[in-house]
Amino acid sequence: MDWIGRSFTAVCMWPRRPVLLLSLAIARVVFIPLFVFCNVRGGLYPDAPFLHDAWYMVFMVAFAFSNGYLATLCMCYGPKQVSSRDAETAGAVMAFFLALGLALGAGLSFLIKFNV
């Protein structure tokens, strides 16, 4: 779904305003309680409101799609928010921090799994 979200930007590139795009990206924190309240074996809440496993899949599909879509929009619009002479540098810096975030997330996942 991440790939589909990234590909969907070829069809629709909304929103165009940076403030709205940032708001949508921040609004994705709503997925944290949704995943916490899913009925996952060994979870924090044994009487979770989302008892069927299909809820977890629905939330994951929406989470992955929104990640791909919003990340691609940020990468498309980011260089346009700076002067034309700095656009190439802005794109390179954005790509670097995207790769750094992915690498740190993958590395930290091993530490978290090891300590649990």
Q: Tell me the pTM.
A: 0.84
pLDDT value of position 47: 76
3-state secondary structure the chain: CHHHHHHHCCCCCCCCCHHHHHHHHHHHHHHHHHHHCECCCCCCCCCCCECCHHHHHHHHHHHHHHHHHHHHHHHHHHHHHCCHHHHHHHHHHHHHHHHHHHHHHHHHHHHHHHHC
pLDDT tens-digit map of 49-101: 888 889 999 999 999 999 999 999 999 999 999 999 999 999 999 999 999 99
Amino acid (1-letter code) at residue 107: G
- Residue 46 reports pLDDT greater than 80: no
What pLDDT was estimated at residue 114? 78
Per-domain boundaries in the chain:
1-77, 82-116
Q: What pLDDT is recorded for position 43?
A: 61
